[in-house]
Structure 1
Amino acid sequence: MGFLLSNLLGDPFAISTVSFGMIAWIISLAGAAANPSATYLRFTWWGLVYELMLILIILVLYLYNTIELYKFTLVGLLAVATVYTTNSVNTLIYNSNNAGNLCCAAGCILLSMLNILWMVYFGGHPESPTNQFIDSFSVKASPFTHGQIPSSANKMEDSDFVSGARPAFNSYLNNESRHSQLTANANNNMNGNNKSNYMLSSQLNGLENFSSSHINDNARNTFYKAEPANEDFNLPATTYRYKAKALYNYEANPEDINEISFQKDEILEVDDIDGKWWQAKRSNGQVGICPSNYVKLMD
């Protein structure tokens, strides 16, 4: 879980709320500083310092992609911050004889709204409608947002394939796709579903030396012969350096063959833990990817 600026820039909710918090904090600070004789702002001054530290903590957690591990802690800290900002608003509103007080009150109101929004998000369950709606705008959508899960191609980019393995893998997929198409065409011909007596040019590959009388006899066997496996195609083995414990039950997306399902409290071997999808291996030997929000690294 290294420091990556893309962790913040790829999450519109994170970058917008952190930016909004900094703007609101600057407004509050400017208003408080504009009234040097306001001795009653001692409580507000400490509240502003506390709020700044909290915003910076959330910023750092987003940059290191560890925000999921501290959500419940942040809810408690935000509750304390809300007490500071709301009480400051109450004090400043009733001392409205100075424009600085009103400016500081406006900033504290904005900070209070932000704290409440963060508490709703961080304190909500990842599968709640509000969290799924917010996470759906992320470039790397949350793994809890079914239907918004990144495509298999995007997830494969986060894996630790060595250089040169990807072209072989793509070639293998292309061969499999071609074989599936040929098999489907053969089925149509056998079952009489293909009303045409002609064959597509793509179906004639390998049959150039056959006469038309041979096609009907041999096409069926040709189409049903599986293409030989590429002996040079070997996916590199993954070394799993960490262990993780499942925090929740997870059911793999049936449309994505790369995901794996697991149960709460199950121990997984994991690796490639920089992104939101981790390489994982179950105790039964099943391998694939798992959402990082559903598991916790073990010491």
Structure 2
Amino acid sequence: MCDIGWLITFIATCAIGASFHLVWVEIFYNLFILLGATLAVATQAVHNYRLVILTFIGGSLTLLFQCIDATINIKNAKFSAAGSGLIFQSLVLIFWVFFFGAEEESLVKRTMNDFTIPRIPGAAGNGVSNGVAHGAVSSDQHHNNGQDLNSVVVAPAADYAYKARALYSYEANPEDSNELSFVKGEVLDIVDNKGKWWQARKQDGTVGIAPSNYLQLI
């Protein structure tokens, strides 16, 4: 969530001085958005605050365009640097409009989610999830001295202490037998609520790992 454009604008505006009031307003306004959006993503509460974040982003873009117009017309290296940072910020915020505003079923959001939580064959074996018990191991893994991470499976007999509702539908990666498919609204039993991947159990007894940003604890 780090915005390089914001940092460039801040440094350039410090060099310009306190006289450029409009850009200073934008700097602190956008800092508020950066912190709020980062906190929402970190606490997996985007679904609760997406409309609020989008509203603030809309206001920020309006202010950004005014600041860009005010800086690029001044033939000065400091103002040009500030303008470049503002343009970069606007591109980041436009990206965020799609990130926070697109529906999960859309191609744009599915592509973004693939970058946020990449599909990794044998994710449990690679330590992607703190909530997956590294239980049974096939004989092939013993033969390979523990190097065949894809043979690591979840533990069906684990203690499922939590329940979570699926916010969106998820299609398991066919290359990873550990992943679990589910549909929007489905209730899953969860072993642990830490990490990006959680060990989950469906109502029919099927177990596997699921991406945590698709689930909400209940």
TM-score, normalised via structure 1 length: 0.56
Select 1:66's aligned residue among 15, 32, 44: 44
Q: Please state if 1:278 is matched with 2:198.
A: yes
The percent of aligned pairs where both chains have the same amino acid is 30
Structure 1 residue 99: deviation in Å? 4.3
Alignment partner of 1:100 out of 66, 71, 78: 78
Which region of structure 1 is more displaced relative to structure 2, 44-53 or 236-245? 236-245
CA displacement 1:258-296 (0-9 Å, x = unmatched)? 333333222222132222221222233333222223221
Number of the residue aligned with 1:154: 123
| Aligned-residue offset at 1:44 | 2.1
Q: CA deviation at 1:111?
A: 1.2
| Residues 44 and 213, structure 2, Cα contact 8 Å, conserved in 1 | no
Give the SS at the match of 1:66: coil
Q: Higher helix share goes to which structure?
A: 1
| Matched AA of 2:160 | Y
Other structure's SS at 1:48 match? helix
Shift of 1:175: 7.2
* Mapped contact 1:58–1:67 kept (Cα < 8 A): no
Distance between the aligned counterparts of 1:50 and 1:67, measured in 2? 21
Distance 1:254 1:29 in 2: 46
8 A contact 1:27–1:104 mirrored in 2 = yes
SS in structure 2 at match of 1:154: coil
Q: 1:91, 1:175 → 2: CA distance?
A: 66
Give the Cα separation in 1 of the matches to 2:173 and 2:84: 46
Q: TM-score normalized by structure 2? A: 0.73
Taking a change above 3 Å as real, the CA distance of residues 251 and 81 of structure 1, as seen in their structure-2 partners, is same
Q: Is the Cα contact below 8 Å between 1:35 and 1:98 reproduced in 2? A: no
Q: Which has the larger radius of gyration?
A: 1
Aligned to 1:174: 139
Structure 2: state its 5+ residue gaps: 144-154
Asked whether the 8 Å contact 1:31–1:99 carries over to 2, the reply is: no
Whether the aligned pair in 2 keeps the contact of 1:33 and 1:100 (CA below 8 Å) is no
The residue type paired with residue 106 of structure 1 is S
Q: Which amino acid aligns with 2:139?
A: N
Q: 1:247 aligns with which of 151, 164, 167?
A: 167
Cα distance, 1:32–1:134 mapped onto 2, change above 3 Å: same
1:154 counterpart letter in structure 2: A
3-state DSSP of counterpart to 1:280: strand
Query: How far apart, in 2, do the equivalents of 1:137 and 1:248 lie?
Result: 17
**Deviating more after overlay: 238-247 vs 248-257:** 248-257
**Alignment RMSD (CA, Å):** 3.3
